[in-house]
Every structure is written in structure tokens, then in C-alpha cells.
Amino acid sequence: MPNTKSAAKRLRQNIKRRARNRAIKHMVKTHCKRVLAAIQAGDPERAREEFRLAVKKIDQAAAKGVIHKNKAARLKSRLAQRLNRMGVTAPS
């Protein structure tokens, strides 16, 4: 329980930010799973489109500070490697 007015405000802000950050992280994970599902299904066109959307969401999360920029780079790199192993060149 916060003791001061400013501590109460910080608590409200933290709760709001945590909810927003969790939603963004969930969106990133969902898009990454969609890329992997498309690769598993052997659908190169869908995999490429899902990869493009996943990269967009990852970059947005990194720009907002939800995930670290190095983690964003690592996620994109790993997805691109999977896509390239499938025989589809990842759009840069």
C-alpha cells in the first residue's frame, strides 16, 4: 500500500504500463509462432508474409522499450534463419 500521493500515482502508472507491455510481448510471441507454423506447413508465401508482420511487431516492441534491441535483433535473425533453411529468402 503506497504511503504518499506520488507513490500511489507510480503504482497506478506501473499497473497500466505492465498491462501494455504484456499485451505487446504477447503480440510478438503470437506473430513469431505464426511464422513458425507457416514454415512447418511448408507454405513459403504465407511464411514470408508472416515474417514481415513479425519483424514489424518486434521492431515496434523494441522501439517502445518493451524488449531490448539486442533481443529484437536475435529474434529476427532466428526467424530469418528458419525461413532461409526452408529455401525462401527473408526480405530485408
Let me know if residue 44 belongs to a domain. Answer: yes
Range of the domain at 64: 5-85
Whether 70 is in a domain gets the answer yes
Res. 37: pLDDT tops 80: yes
Q: Give residue-wise pLDDT tens across range 38-86.
A: 999 999 999 999 999 999 999 999 999 999 999 999 999 999 999 999 8
- Is the separation of the CB atoms in 54 and 15 below 8 Å? no
Residue 10 lies inside a defined structural domain of this protein: yes
Instruction: Specify the pLDDT at position 92.
Output: 63
CATH number at residue 21: 1.20.58.110
For residue 89, the model assigns a pLDDT of 77
On whether residue 26 sits in a domain, the answer given is yes
How many domains does the chain fold into?
1
Q: Which of 68, 63, 64, 56 is nearest to 30 (CA)?
A: 56
State the Cα–Cα distance between residues 79 and 39, nearest whole angstrom: 10
Residue type, 86: M
Q: Give the pLDDT band (50/70/90) at residue 15.
A: very high
Domain annotation covers residue 81: yes
